[in-house]
Amino acid sequence: MDNKDQLLNKRAKAKEGGGEERLKKQHAQGKLSARERIDVLLDSDSFNEIGGLVEHRSTAFGLEKQKIPGDGVVTGYGTIHGRLIYVFSQDFTVLGGSLSETHAGKICRIMDLALKNGAPLIGLNDSGGARIQEGVVSLAGYADIFYRNTRASGVIPQLSVIMGPCAGGAVYSPALTDFVFMVEETSYMFVTGPNVVKTVTHEEVTSEDLGGAKAHAEKSGVNHFIGGNDVECLKMVRDFITYIPQNCQELAPHPSVFEFDKSNLEKIESIIPENATMPYDIRKVITFVIDASSFREVHKDFATNIVVGFARLEGRTIGVVANQPISLAGVLDIDSSRKGARFVRFCDAFNIPLLVFEDVPGFLPGTDQEWRGIITHGAKLLYAFSEATVPRITVITRKAYGGAFDVMNSKSIGSDLNFAWPTAEIAVMGAKGAAEIIFKKEIASADNREEKWLEKEAEYAEMFANPYRAAERGIIDEVIFPKETRSRLISGFKMLENKTEKLPNKKHGNIPL
């Protein structure tokens, strides 16, 4: 066999992966192969493979007879919408996609290149975990990856796409990345599987219920996005990339073409109910302000009392954080605070301006929240906003009560512009509770206590349940009509384009983890 034939033969063997039978099994499960996934993810004919002929070096347990070029992971670089992207795609058809010393080395090589060249890293995970035949070296391989994930955090965007099993130590790499995508019914993540759970805790649970896409989207918050199948999930990733920059030194892409329906400016006026206790969907406010069809919600099914996601204003990417009145009245609790804080920190790390829509009655009371640490978790959101140096604008649509008012990007913690609608209520607490405290003696001595209470409640509401006292003190920059919101935001963010703010010199802060 001449040199040319030898190379062609090795390349062909690498592309075969685990062979035709295993590939058929992969397809039968509704899953694409590692290379097919890359073809869907990247621009056509843009992929350049690195390490395609790498083989493992183990001889234990007969592994010397199971050498396949590539060693269970396809690595390289290509483009998405013309922008440089680094990618690794684990191949479950080769030894279950298990991670060996050389498999890990290939991933680390790609991670190093991504960091050096300032481009996003996307990992397509489909692996049975560490290659146990190699023992501790496979575990060391995971640690090498975790170390690089941490070093790259906040420098380049890192996306994890779970497209099959991801168990044991393997789950920590996705957890260290910025966003996790999962595929419905074919992917799962857990530290210990159903069999171990049954042995240790005597709980019987399926892989899907324990660590499936839906479980992690709704209950744990590990998963940010769900795709119905491999192709849908990968197309979501391609779309998502258009909202984020290449690295922490750059800005997100700025499409010159955008659409906005001007009739939204009139529709927005009728969103807030006349009865202040009635809920409404904050997504309508977001939708009527931003560019048409540009909102990409993150963590849609987790901690639904807060809404976060990416949107565009005249083509420019912004990060949106908004209290959601139709879920728990929009209160802040442990999960919503964690969700908001994580999103704020990503936006700040990658130069994405922040827009906050505020309608918050306070923090969720109760023993469950207190005993599980609402104080510490709520402080995470406070810390994230306080530390953020990107342009920040807040719009108070209705309630802004108590400490939650401070936490939701108030001027006192560094917000650049704060607007309020005429429906805004900015106060220490709601009128009913405040009247009960302030006028306690008067109410107690009144002949008709209920009538007196209502009278004092109305008195307090007239004094404080509006945005004007805050505006008089400069705590609010301007009271605006809802239909003016989009133009004020566009003008405000343009004004803040060259904002420069530096944090005090330090190694790093001690966020309340």
Phi-psi region of 23 (alpha: psi -120 to 50; beta: other; left: phi over 0): alpha
206: its two tokens: 């399926």
Q: How many CB atoms lie within 10 A of CB 231?
A: 15
Non-local CB neighbours of 368 within 8 Å, separated by 6+ positions: none
Asked if 170 is an active-site residue, the reply is no
Asked if 169 is an active-site residue, the reply is yes
Q: How many CB atoms lie within 10 A of CB 266?
A: 11
Q: Which string of DSSP letters, residue by residue, matches 112-157?
A: HHHHHHT--EEEEE----B-GGGTHHHHHHHHHHHHHHHHHTTTS-
What is the 3-class SS of 220-269, one letter each residue? HCCCCEEECCHHHHHHHHHHHHCCCCCCCCCCCCCCCCCCCCCCHHHHHH
For residue 398, the SS3 value is strand
C-alpha dihedral, 144 to 223 to 49 to 66, nearest 10°: 70
For residue 22, the SS3 value is helix
The amino acid that residue 11 corresponds to is R
The Cα 104–Cα 109 span in angstroms is: 9
Catalytic residue among 193, 228, 315, 403: 403
Catalytic residue among 52, 118, 169, 228: 169
319: its two tokens: 């990060």
Going by their DSSP bridges, the two strands 306-313 and 316-323 should be labelled as antiparallel
Counted residue by residue, the chain has a size of 513
On the 0-12 / 13-18 / 19+ scale of CB atoms within 10 A, 5 is exposed
- Is residue 493 within 8 Å of residue 391, measured between CB atoms? yes
Asked if 430 is an active-site residue, the reply is no
Catalytic residue among 114, 252, 311, 404: 404
Going by their DSSP bridges, the two strands 121-125 and 296-298 should be labelled as unpaired
No. of helices (H) and no. of strands (E), the chain: 21, 17
Asked if 168 is an active-site residue, the reply is yes
Non-local CB neighbours of 4 within 8 Å, separated by 6+ positions: none
Catalytic residue among 70, 168, 211, 309: 168
The Cα 406–Cα 95 span in angstroms is: 53
**Catalytic residue annotation:** 168-169, 403-404
